[in-house]
């Protein structure tokens, strides 16, 4: 099991009020799975994603990432986990506007302390993997939305993480570009990458092999036929 979250609670302090966001959420994902998490806004899906992505810590519960208890890790070790084991894709792409596509993709490699020459080679390979080998020198402003998201995916995959976390990856794209991104996800999943994707678009969620619903901080699974009553 690559992701194993048990009994996760997450509360936010709002003034003097404690607001529960996640209530007893458990989530298990096997290696190579393709999971979609659906839910309306405010349901806690982004919070769950942040916890899965080692950006946030739950108030209580346990989380094992590839068998390792992540909640006991120090700040530095969490950074390393984000760097090497998890790739992030955001709705708004989050590219560095003044850097070329190649430089954007090589950014995580520089955090891994890889030499410049190797960085360029590996970033180039990652760009080719998403079909943008000919756009390496382009700045984000010169790219379409779909291309930007593909650069972001290349950046997420450049360190060859086992897990790709995507937060509304097609939310800012037209349907055609969205479809291309979905095809890319499918390709990555076929190559063995575990994908966890947040969306509120049912058509996008259908691409995944398994869909989870999160409503008011509680998770329910209805993707597997056999789990249905």
Partner 1 sequence: MFENIRLSFQGIWSHKMRSFLTMLGIIIGIAAIIAIVSTIKGTNKQIEQNLIGAGDNTVDVQVYQGDWPYEFSYNPVPEGLPMITDSVLQEIKDLESVEAASLYLSRQDYSAVYYQNTSLSGGYVTGIDRNYLSTCNYLVQRGRGFTEKDYTDYRKVALLDKDSANVLFQGQDPIGKTIEIKQEPFVVVGIIAKADEFEPVINSMDDYYTYSQDASGKVYIPDSAWPIIYQFDEPQQLVVKATSTNAMTDAGKKSADILNNTLSVSDETICYKSEDLLKQAKEIQQLSQSTNSMLIWIAGISLIVGGIGVMNIMLVSVTERTSEIGLKKAIGARKSIILGQFLTEAAVLTSLGGLIGVIVGIILAEAISRLNEMPVAISVPSAVVAVLFSMIIGIVFGLLPSYKAANLDPIEALRHE
Positions touching partner 1 (CB under 8 A) are: 50, 53, 55-56, 75-76, 79-80, 82-84, 87-88, 90, 92, 94, 96, 98, 107-108, 110-112, 155-156, 159
- Which C-beta is closer to partner 1: that of 79 or that of 175? 79
DSSP-assigned states of every residue in 91-148: TT----TTS-HHHHHHHHHHHTT--HHHHHHHHHHHHHHTT-GGGTT--GGGS-HHHH
Q: How far is the CB of 28 from partner 1 (least distance, A)?
A: 23
- Which C-beta is closer to partner 1: that of 195 or that of 210? 195
Give the Cα separation of 101 and 93 in Å (integer): 12
Q: How far is the CB of 53 from partner 1 (least distance, A)?
A: 7
Give the Cα separation of 73 and 82 in Å (integer): 12
- Which C-beta is closer to partner 1: that of 19 or that of 96? 96
Q: How far is the CB of 222 from partner 1 (least distance, A)?
A: 28
CA-based nearest residue to 208, from 22, 61, 77, 37: 37
Give the Cα separation of 120 and 106 in Å (integer): 7
Q: How far is the CB of 55 from partner 1 (least distance, A)?
A: 5
- Which C-beta is closer to partner 1: that of 56 or that of 174? 56
- Which C-beta is closer to partner 1: that of 92 or that of 227? 92
Helix, coil or strand: residue 49:
helix
Q: How far is the CB of 167 from partner 1 (least distance, A)?
A: 9
Write phi, then psi, for 182 (nearest 5 degrees).
-65, -40
């Amino acid at each position: 099991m690559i992701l194993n979250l048990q009994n996760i609670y997450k509360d936010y302090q709002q003034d003097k009020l404690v607001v529960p966001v996640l209530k007893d959420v458990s989530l298990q994902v096997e290696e190579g799975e393709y999971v979609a998490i659906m839910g309306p806004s405010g349901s806690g899906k982004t919070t769950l994603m942040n916890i899965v992505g080692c950006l946030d810590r739950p108030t209580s519960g346990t989380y094992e990432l590839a068998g390792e208890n992540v909640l006991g890790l120090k700040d530095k070790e969490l950074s390393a986990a984000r760097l090497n084991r998890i790739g992030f894709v955001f709705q708004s792409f989050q590219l560095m506007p003044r850097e070329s596509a190649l430089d954007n993709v090589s950014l995580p490699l520089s955090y891994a302390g890889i030499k410049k020459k190797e960085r360029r080679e590996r970033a180039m390979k990652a760009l080719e993997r998403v079909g943008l080998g000919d756009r390496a020198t382009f700045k984000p402003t010169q790219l379409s939305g779909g291309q930007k998201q593909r650069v972001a995916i290349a950046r997420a995959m450049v360190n060859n993480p086992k897990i790709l976390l995507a937060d509304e990856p097609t939310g800012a794209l037209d349907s055609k570009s969205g479809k291309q991104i979905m095809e890319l996800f499918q390709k990555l999943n076929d190559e063995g990458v575990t994908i966890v994707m947040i969306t509120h678009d049912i058509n996008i969620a259908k691409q995944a092999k398994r869909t989870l619903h999160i409503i008011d901080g509680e998770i329910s699974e209805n993707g597997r036929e056999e789990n249905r009553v």
